[in-house]
Structure 1
Amino acid sequence: MREGFLVSLGASLGAIARFLLTALFPASALTLVLINCLGSWAMGRFQPGPFLGTGFLGGFTSFSAFILLYQNDHGLWWMLITILGCMCSWLLGEKTR
């Protein structure tokens, strides 16, 4: 029960952090890709536990929202960029530990 609470709290804080970043920068596919890559890098770099990993970084990144990118003309490219960018970001984080 305690771990579930910590994950929920972390996810709430991560979603707020993502909201604040999207309020500072224009809402675009590039902003979403950069946020997801930053979260992936942090996951690889710090390998956090439930609160920061599953919770905060899970709430911070938005892998469900990138499906909406598929609806425009270049959606498939943005999806591929997101997937490859996040994989490379995680690997970079892992290598810099």
Structure 2
Amino acid sequence: MSKKKKQPARPKHMPQRTCFVCREKRDKRQLTRLVRTPEGPILVDPTGKKNGRGAYLCDNLACWDKVLGNGRLLNQALKTELTAEDLATVATHRPAEPK
């Protein structure tokens, strides 16, 4: 009888996503997902599972400032025209300044 050697446990797969501003790849859970829902509004998706076209944004304040200062980047990523309301919704989820 041959004994089977136990295989070492495989590391858990962590999906990778790219920040649409700085183009850095990171684990999906380290990024914030912005989604344009089929109904139209732009939402911040903490679960990463909402239906619609999504774009990922890292927690780097420079990336957030670029998006909030120039809505064109987000327009391009979500293939839509943002309203002032949409930008205000996104701005409420901006990470706090480090101390």
Q: Relative contact order: is structure 1 or structure 2 higher (C-alpha 8 Å, sep ≥ 6)? A: 1
Same-fold status (TM-score > 0.5): no
Question: What TM-score do you get using the length of structure 2 for normalisation?
Answer: 0.31
- Where is the helix percentage greater, Structure 1 or Structure 2? 1
Provide the TM-score with structure 1 as the length reference: 0.32
